[in-house]
Amino acid sequence: MDAVDNPYTPNAGARPEILIGRDEQTEAFRTLLKRLRRGRTEQSMIITGLRGVGKTVLLNSFRAIAQKEGWEVIEFEAVKHGENRFRQTIASQLKAALLRVSPRARWTDTGRRAAEVLSSFALSVNAEGTWSIGWDVPATEGLADHGDLGMDLTDVLVAVGEAAAEQDKGIALLVDEVQFLNAPQLEALIQAIHKTVQRSLPVTFVGAGLPQIAELVGDAKSYAERLFKFPRIDSLNDDDARAALTEPAAAEGATYQDDAVALAVQITNGYPYFIQELGYQVWTIAENNRIFKEDIELARDAYEAKLDSSFFRVRLDRATPLQTAYMRAMAELGSAPQKAADVAALMGRTSTQLGPTRAELIEMGLLYTPEHGYAAFTVPDFDKFMKRAVPVLDVPPVNRRRIRSTPPATDTTD
């Protein structure tokens, strides 16, 4: 069938033409915005889930909803940067949002005060000197100049929130890959949103991240569990998975045979990204706007090859030989979460020896801990890929430290 008409979108974060199975989350977000606009509090949310289940797609949908409701949207993907870069990102986005909420030529006292607090927040963000926010608004004194990220971010979000409220607007902060925020950054965001909630300001923070983020947020601030909901999104149920396959095709005049849909759902396990990839490959094979079971079977090799070469491979390529062996050992044990002791035993090592490797894989976002002592892949079906990519478990030898010929000098000073 015509490639131009292909309705499937197997791209990172790309919104499918028809968003299926996420009505509960989108309705909760609409309710959140409406209640905040009326000065009522409502728990915000941090969406968790594995790679490929549509967290970024959902955030993009939230952005469209917020903009339609007249809210200003600040959005960014968290990366592992220090405080200075984090301040720059927040300050630049808040400046743009403030100017959209209240253009400079029409600033009221509240709008100007927000700009002055924002200037204060942006000052002295690097060791070499002052980073300019790009305007000549003087910094206020005593607000957002404490040198403490949590206190400073609280001051600036409250000030910008007050300016937005005055204009009957709102600020929606949407952050993807929340697990890559470091502890001070995450604590600062939670602290600042807590204060805007206490002031009944139209400001909210909605995040998305891997499953471990719920634990990280709880560790950051004890009240976070009351401040946020943590909806977990996963694979689609059978009915939604069928709809995600058939409805985009129907919009282009194509139909699936029932047994073709059943096989496609079985192959993809209902994971949204996998559905998009398989649907895309099937479209290139099928003819005359009819999709049969044979088309699904023919497309399966290309589907798996594409996942292996892109979705899966980019993650494996980042791993060291020992990290690769650890993941291969996990795959050998099965798709369920695995005990650290069992993985170590299969590799002929101890849990203590492999603890740093496991921690590295978690920090890289390749593993997460669903419960104490267990680890699981953050990517669905990664265990199957590991067996294809690394047919034999090969554990690198232990790097033994060279023994010193003479003992080190002993420091006898007190």
Q: What is the pLDDT of residues 302-339, one digit of tens each?
A: 999 999 998 999 889 999 999 999 999 999 999 999 99
Predicted pLDDT at 116: 95
Predicted pLDDT at 337: 95
Averaged pLDDT score across all residues of the chain = 90
Instruction: Taking residues 369-384, report their average pLDDT.
Output: 92
pLDDT beyond 50 at 412 = no
pLDDT beyond 60 at 357 = yes
Predicted pLDDT at 80: 84
Treating both helix axes as pointing N-terminal to C-terminal, what angle do 272-285 and 293-306 enclose, rounded to 10 degrees?
Answer: 120
What are the φ and ψ backbone dihedral angles of 232, each rounded to 5 degrees?
-100, 120
Instruction: Taking residues 222-235, report their average pLDDT.
Output: 87
pLDDT beyond 50 at 242 = yes
Instruction: Taking residues 292-310, report their average pLDDT.
Output: 95
Region at 48 (left for phi over 0; alpha for psi -120 to 50; beta for the rest) = beta
Q: Strand pairing partners for 45?
A: 229
pLDDT band at 125; cut points 50, 70, 90: low
Predicted pLDDT at 329: 97
87 in helix, strand or coil? helix
CA distance 209 to 66: 20
The Cα angle at residue 99 between residues 41 and 204, in degrees rounded to 5 = 20
Encoded amino acid at 246, one letter: T
Q: List the one residue out of 348, 349, 354, 347 whose CA is nearest residue 329.
A: 347
pLDDT beyond 60 at 178 = yes
Percent of the chain with pLDDT over 70: 93
pLDDT beyond 70 at 414 = no
Range in 81-85, 246-250, 286-290, 410-414 the model is least confident about: 410-414
CA distance 233 to 212: 13
Structure tokens at 407: 């003992």
C-alpha dihedral (159, 162, 167, 172), degrees to nearest 10: 80
DSSP letter (8 states) at residue 80: S
The span from the first CA to the last CA of the chain, in angstroms, equals: 81
CB atoms within 10 A of CB 134: 11
Instruction: Taking residues 334-353, report their average pLDDT.
Output: 95
